[in-house]
Amino acid sequence: MNDRTSAASPRIKLLEEAVFRKIAAGEVIDRPAAVVRELLDNALDAASTEITVEISQGGIERILVLDDGEGMVPEDVRRCYLPHATSKIRSEQDLLAVTTLGFRGEALGSIAAVATTRIASRARGTPSGYFVLVDRGRLVEEGETHLPEGTRVEVERLFSSFPARKRFLKNPSTEGLLCRRMVVEKALPFPHVAFRFVRDGQMEFYLPPQDLLARVCAALPELFKPSASERFEVEQDEVRIEGVLLSPAFPQRDRRHIRIYLNRRLVQEFSLAQAVAYGYRGVLPGGQYPAAVVFLTLPPERVDFNVHPAKREAKIRGLSSLHALLARAVEQALKDWIGVRRIAPTTGRPETVGETERVYRPHPEPSRSGTGELFTGPSHTFTLPSDSGHPPSPRTGEGFTYLGQAFGVFLVVEREGTLLLVDQHAAHERILYNRLTSHPSSQELLFPYAFPVDADEAARLEDAREEIEALGIRFVLEEGRCTLTHLPAPLSDAPHVVAQWLKGERLADPERDAYATLACRGAIKEGEVVDRLTALDLLSQTFSLEEPFCPHGRPLWVEITREELFRRIRRIV
């Protein structure tokens, strides 16, 4: 009887206030860096122009955040540490258009629940300030105090009454490093605000008010240098994009150096980081990634940050269009920055070879070019007829001298005391790619080219027909096969290359993937010998390109100065 009564008795109870406040605090405050994050958000929302952060023992023993912002009147100081007390929203509708960094009213209440917290503030234009001292959620002392206009929040003995959470903290050195990173994170999108960071009594850095490029280089000096970084800015359809890009000459191993800020909050959004990487595709090879700090400003109603305790994630309306806009903005910024890099001044296009598009073909008579054993290659020579009337001299072009071919890979050039090694495949690939992307008229094949396709491939080709035909490729689908009827002129003699690409899976970005793949397969290959006249023409076109990179991001040439070469062989310059 007693057992039945016990089994049927109610077991759900309401938690005590001290317990549920600690649970709620654990969602927001999990380590000292989280305290720094929340206090910096409040300071920035208060329109501060200078903020100081001091920590002791990695922030576990003490954290101080001092600002010169708007401050609070005594009534607000007495309320600010209470759960869900906030000055930033008033109703449920305000959550749909948040413009401040903080808005939930959880920060000070969560901090005060797990530490001893002293909050002192003086509103602008008032003669004195007010303070409260709160110990683990209980008000201990309050009263008038004297301090400059602004707010001072001091947090001590974090998690001293919460040993389960304290056990999971790292050592003070690591926790201090995380606090430092948090200050840098918050300083990047606010270059007009001065930040000072002090650890264990030693000032580690001071960031004065400065422009965006200077702020990024000062806050991340191990990565960004003014001479290798560029600021860009774009505004379109109520979306503003600005940021700092690192030169592609300094590639990274992964995407972790791509920082994306959305309405001044650092967010973890793979799609936007991917868009930045896409923007670098023309100047970075596959497997290498850029470093960039990008700030996107969207209308607040398009973003919902109320989905993550630390506001690291967000729901974004129109993410796919934002992805495309960001990728285009980065790509254009890189083009504007890198600019036109030409070896010699030219007028218009370099000398061409008649009206027909040129594709390098094996010469029926194998020959060798260059002199000595260094400039040797296999038994194919690539030649190009010329109708210019005044062919170039056997060794010189516009502003350069061609020396020969090395290892069947490089065209060796001398110019003004500099030796250039030009990658023949990459250079030809870029030239073909540019011709393809100029959308040449489609050419009907004298002999249509048929190849087998299964049902899934046929369906995919039909779905992508409009995009494929925009490339100058026309085809007819029949049961079990696809027949190519028209191709761009540069590819009219290589229908098998087009067929291989069409049977692949990469149809999502035809402007890039298709042309880059087709240009790569149609370009001169490593180990194939180029005759001297053809090499001169290829070099003239290469040095006139606006983008000295192949479509996959590899540089077209490397340079070795006379001084550098002399130093290498220990010769007096």
Alpha-carbon gap, residue 408 to 106, rounded angstroms: 66
Domain ranges of the chain: 17-207, 212-338, 347-573
Q: Is pLDDT above 90 for 36?
A: yes
Comparing CA positions, the residue from 456, 477, 519 lying closest to residue 485 is 477
Alpha-carbon gap, residue 341 to 283, rounded angstroms: 13
Band of the pLDDT at 26, cuts 50, 70, 90?
Answer: very low
pLDDT of residue 349: 33
Phi, psi of 166 (to 5 degrees): -65, -30
3-class SS at 521? helix
pLDDT of residue 508: 46
| φ/ψ bin of 200: left (φ > 0), alpha (ψ from -120 to 50), beta (otherwise) | left
Q: How many Cα neighbours within 13 Å face the side chain of 70? A: 10
The whole-number average pLDDT for the span 36-44 is 94
Percent of the chain at pLDDT above 70? 78
* Whether domain 17-207 has CATH 3.40.50.10210: no
Most confident of 30-44, 88-102, 371-385: 30-44
Fold observed for domain 347-573: formyl-coa transferase, domain 3 (3.30.1540)
> What are the CA-CA distances from residue 185 to residues 33, 37, 178, 211, 514 (Å)?
11, 9, 10, 16, 39
pLDDT of residue 10: 75
**528-558 pLDDT per residue, tens:** 888 888 888 889 888 888 778 888 778 888 8
Tokens describing residue 41: 């958000």
Q: Is pLDDT above 50 for 405?
A: yes
pTM of the model: 0.64
Neighbour-count burial for 533-560, b at 16+ CB within 10 Å, e otherwise: bbbbbbbbbbbbbebbbbbbbbbbbeee
pLDDT of residue 392: 43
Level-2 CATH architecture, domain 212-338: 2-Layer Sandwich (3.30)
Tokens describing residue 464: 């992508």
Sheet containing 229-236: order of strands = 229-236, 239-246, 292-297, 258-262, 265-266
More reliable by pLDDT, 513 or 24: 513
Band of the pLDDT at 385, cuts 50, 70, 90?
Answer: very low
pLDDT of residue 522: 75
Tokens describing residue 208: 């004065």
Helical axes 32-45 vs 172-187, angle rounded to 10°: 20
Band of the pLDDT at 347, cuts 50, 70, 90?
Answer: very low
Band of the pLDDT at 475, cuts 50, 70, 90?
Answer: very high
Which stretches of 32-98 are assigned E, i.e. beta strand?
50-56, 62-67
Q: Is pLDDT above 80 for 509?
A: no
User: What sections of 350-509 are H helices per DSSP?
Assistant: 424-437, 455-463, 465-469, 495-502
**97-141 pLDDT per residue, tens:** 555 676 555 778 889 888 999 999 999 999 999 999 999 889 999
Which residues are registered as beta bridge partners of 444? Answer: 486
More reliable by pLDDT, 476 or 101: 476
Sheet containing 361-362: order of strands = 361-362, 381-383, 529-530
Alpha-carbon gap, residue 313 to 304, rounded angstroms: 9
Alpha-carbon gap, residue 428 to 438, rounded angstroms: 16
**238-293 pLDDT per residue, tens:** 999 999 999 988 999 889 999 999 999 999 888 899 999 989 987 887 788 999 99
Alpha-carbon gap, residue 519 to 501, rounded angstroms: 11
